[in-house]
Structure formats: C-alpha cells, structure tokens
Amino acid sequence: MMRTASTRIARLAVLARIGLLACIALDAHAAATAGQAPQPAVPAPAAQAPAAPREADAVGVALTDARALIDRGQAKDAVAKLLALARPDDPRVLHVLGVAYYHADAEQQAVTVLERVRERLPDGSIERREAEQVLGLSLHLLGRSAEAIPWLERTRAWAVDNLELNFVLGQAYIQTNQPDAARTALARTFDLPADAPAAHVVAAQLMIRLKMETLAEAELAAALKKDPRTPRANFLLGQMALFRGRLDEAIERSTREIAVNPADAEAFAQVGDAYVRQGKWDEAIRALQQSIWLNPYYSSPYILLGRAYLKKDQPSTAEGMLRRAIAFDPNNRMAHYLLAQLLQQTGRTDEAKREFAIAEQLQAQSGRP
C-alpha cells in the first residue's frame, strides 16, 4: 500500500524498536535465558488441555527465539516461527506475534492480532503495556490516527518522558486537526513550555512536513504575536509563500528572518530562489552568494547561481557553480540536467550526453514523472 508522509515519518521515528519496546524485549529475553520460562499471561482457555511440560518448554524457547529474531531485524522469520507453533489461542504467542508483525511492516496483521489478545493479558502487566503501545503505533502507521491516540496516551501515562512516543503523538494530533494537543506533545519532545513561541514553531515545522499548511500558518502567527523576533517563524512563512508562488511575500518574510538572524544561510538562499523565479538575476546572485559565504556546503544555492549566470550569459561561471553543486550532491538530477544543457549550448556534445544520461538515470531512480 502507498504510505503517506505521516506514516513515513512515523516509521522513521519508531520502527527501530523505540526504547520501551527494546526494554520489554530485553526483559523477556533475560528472564528466559536465566532459566525462567515466560509464564502464560492468562490461564489457558478451559477447552484447551494443559500443555505437557515439554510442550510448554518448547513454547517458551520459541518465544525467546522469536524475540531474538526481532532484535536482529529478522521479524518475518519470527512471524514464521510463531505461526509454526500452531497455537492460535495462546495469549503468549499472540502477543509476541503481534509485535513481530509490527516489526515486519505488517501493521494490519499486528492490529488484528493485538486487538484479539490485548484484553487477555493482565491489566498493568508489561505484556499488556507492550501490546497497547504496538497497537497504537500500528494504527497510526495505517493512517488511523484517531484510533491510535487513546492507546498512545495510555502508553504515555507510564512512559511520560519517552521522546519518540511524544513525537508520534504530536503527528497523530496534527493528523486529527488537534493543534493544541499536538503542540503540547511536541513541546514535551523538545523540552519546551507548550505556550512558548518556540513550541509554536516546532509544531508548525512538523505540520508543514505533513502538508497541513493551514494549521502551520496559525501556529506561526501565534508565535510572532507572542514575540515578533521568534527565530524561524518568518522563514517558514516565507517558505510556504515561495512554494505557492507568492514571491514578493517570500522575499519579505525571508528578509525579516535575516533581520533576526543575519547568519541564516537558508534564509538568504530562499531570497535568492524567489529572485531567480522573478528573473531578477543581479539581486538573486547577491543573495545566493551571501548564502554560500555563510554555508558553502549546501548545493541548492550553487544550482540557482548556475541558472542565474546562464541567464547573464556567463557560461564559464555557471559551469563552475553547477559542478560545485554536483560535488556536494552527486545525485541531484537538476544540477546534472542544467549542466548538460550548458554543455550542449557550448558545443561539448559528448559531455552533454553523459550528463543528460545521468540526469535521466536519477529521474528513473526517483520514481517521479
């Protein structure tokens, strides 16, 4: 299935067994290796005969092995091992199977299993806590954030200081149009008061990434109302204006950011980008050069300078800028494409063909039309 920006960010935040899950897995593994076979979370159903001692030991060993496979990044193998036990009613097996499904990127299967087994695990037990946490994370990754929030909040009740959990909660609240709750969760992540101007900016930045620009604009306006010199607030407003083609507003906002922080290379680059789009080449070159003087390792200003110098009929300078962009970012398709055009215009056909080929290959790899 196609993942949204939200699920991709969530996966980056939590896939690698966030601290809570890692601790749970280590506790279970330590207990097993100490000769303490994991005990059933609840009594077996009455219709199921008690397992023979050897069978119980086999299940305990399989659960320990499955945990070890999950820890090694072999969650699919863990799933296969647990399914091979053929114990579809054993809550111990279902619990670890749900966790394994989550780590195998099979969130829907994780939800199905964990919803089935959660109430059969003792209330307040580490097994139930893990099941609820993974259930919440899986629902969020499926784009069902409203359903995920109650389970994530239950987890937060006993894991108050977990940064990753608060970050995921912030995303979930953004996706459900609850900006105040989102800001509160993200403020905890970054050790900020929830009503601080900086908290509004942090929330807005994530809202922009999740394509919730209307919410972001309100947060940034609130930050500037509290403190007109809040760092990055004007920059982000300028960034959104640039993407929407409101070039004068982008320049104005970015210039205000520079007044707050004259060393902000990105703000200078943003001004230069807007001037390039307006065809104001001298103004663009000035701003982009200032950006490079502050941060010479960022490829975008070099690409924009290459375009500007081409328009000013200075191909040698333009080529130098584009080659420097490629040196910093060899996989930048636009840099290769512009360089190919320049080489073609200056009669260097063979070199141009090579650069066009690289640009086409990068385009194909990106999967974008």
In this structure, the answer to whether residues 65 and 143 fall within a common structural domain is yes
Domain assignment present for residue 164? The answer is no
Per-residue confidence (pLDDT) for residue 5, from 0 to 100: 46
Please name which of 159, 156, 161 lies closest in space to residue 169, comparing C-alpha atoms. Answer: 156
pLDDT the model gives residue 121: 93
Lookup: tokens for 16? 């690698």
The domain that holds 280 is classified in CATH as: 1.25.40.10
Is 244 inside any structural domain? yes
Query: What is the predicted pLDDT for the residue at 276?
Result: 97
List per-residue pLDDT tens for the chain, 369 residues long.
334 444 444 454 454 334 444 444 334 333 333 334 333 333 333 444 454 445 557 888 889 999 999 999 999 999 999 999 888 889 999 999 999 999 999 999 999 999 999 999 999 899 999 999 999 999 999 999 999 999 999 999 988 888 899 999 999 999 999 999 999 999 999 999 999 999 999 999 999 999 999 999 999 999 999 999 999 999 999 999 999 999 999 999 999 999 999 999 999 999 999 999 999 999 999 999 999 999 999 999 999 999 999 999 999 999 999 999 999 999 999 999 999 999 999 999 999 999 999 999 998 887 665
Both 224 and 244 in one domain: the answer is no
State the residue range of the domain holding 256.
Answer: 231-295
pTM of the model: 0.79
52 inside domain: no
Judgement on whether residues 288 and 317 belong to the same structural domain of the protein: no
Q: Do residues 81 and 25 both lie within one domain?
A: yes
Task: Report yes or no on 51 lying in a domain.
Answer: no
Q: What is the pLDDT of residue 54?
A: 58
What secondary structure does DSSP assign to 284-326, as a single string?
Answer: HHHHHHHHHHH-TT-HHHHHHHHHHHHHTT-HHHHHHHHHHHH
Under the phi-then-psi rule, with left for phi > 0, alpha for psi from -120 to 50, and beta for the rest, what region is 35? left
- The helix-helix angle for 75-84 and 53-71 (nearest 10°) equals 170
